[in-house]
Protein backbone atom coordinates (compact mmCIF):
# COMPACT_ATOMS: atom_id res chain seq x y z
CA UNK A 1 0.00 0.00 0.00
CA UNK A 2 1.42 3.39 -1.02
CA UNK A 3 1.56 6.11 1.62
CA UNK A 4 2.74 8.95 -0.67
CA UNK A 5 5.21 9.90 2.07
CA UNK A 6 8.63 11.20 1.10
CA UNK A 7 11.79 10.56 3.10
CA UNK A 8 11.89 14.29 3.95
CA UNK A 9 8.34 14.27 5.32
CA UNK A 10 9.04 11.13 7.35
CA UNK A 11 12.07 12.76 8.99
CA UNK A 12 10.83 16.34 9.41
CA UNK A 13 7.05 15.88 9.49
CA UNK A 14 6.42 18.27 6.58
CA UNK A 15 7.03 18.55 2.87
CA UNK A 16 9.92 20.64 1.63
CA UNK A 17 9.13 24.05 0.14
CA UNK A 18 11.04 25.51 -2.77
CA UNK A 19 12.22 29.14 -2.38
CA UNK A 20 9.81 30.70 -4.95
CA UNK A 21 6.87 29.38 -2.89
CA UNK A 22 8.27 31.11 0.18
CA UNK A 23 8.56 34.45 -1.60
CA UNK A 24 5.25 34.23 -3.49
CA UNK A 25 2.81 31.95 -1.67
CA UNK A 26 1.02 29.53 -3.93
CA UNK A 27 -2.64 28.67 -3.46
CA UNK A 28 -1.60 25.40 -1.82
CA UNK A 29 0.66 27.15 0.67
CA UNK A 30 -2.03 29.71 1.48
CA UNK A 31 -4.63 27.03 2.07
CA UNK A 32 -2.27 25.01 4.28
CA UNK A 33 -1.55 28.14 6.32
CA UNK A 34 -5.29 28.81 6.59
CA UNK A 35 -5.05 32.12 4.75
CA UNK A 36 -7.62 33.43 2.33
CA UNK A 37 -6.95 35.39 -0.85
CA UNK A 38 -7.58 38.81 0.72
CA UNK A 39 -5.31 38.02 3.70
CA UNK A 40 -2.51 36.93 1.36
CA UNK A 41 -2.84 40.13 -0.66
CA UNK A 42 -2.73 42.21 2.54
CA UNK A 43 0.39 40.39 3.77
CA UNK A 44 2.08 40.95 0.41
CA UNK A 45 1.28 44.68 0.55
CA UNK A 46 2.63 44.95 4.09
CA UNK A 47 5.86 43.21 3.10
CA UNK A 48 6.33 45.64 0.19
CA UNK A 49 5.97 48.63 2.50
CA UNK A 50 8.86 47.47 4.70
Structural domain boundaries in the chain: 18-49
CA–CA distance, 7 with 13 (Å, rounded to integer): 10
Contact 7, 1 (CB under 8 A): no
pTM of the model: 0.31
pLDDT of residue 17: 66
Secondary structure element (H or E) that encloses residue 42, with its range: helix 37-49
Contact 29, 21 (CB under 8 A): yes
1-50 residue pLDDT tens: 677 788 877 788 877 666 665 556 666 666 667 767 777 777 777 877 65
pLDDT of residue 9: 79
Q: Of how many residues is the chain composed?
A: 50
pLDDT of residue 18: 63
Amino acid sequence: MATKATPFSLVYGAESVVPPEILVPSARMSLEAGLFHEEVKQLELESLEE
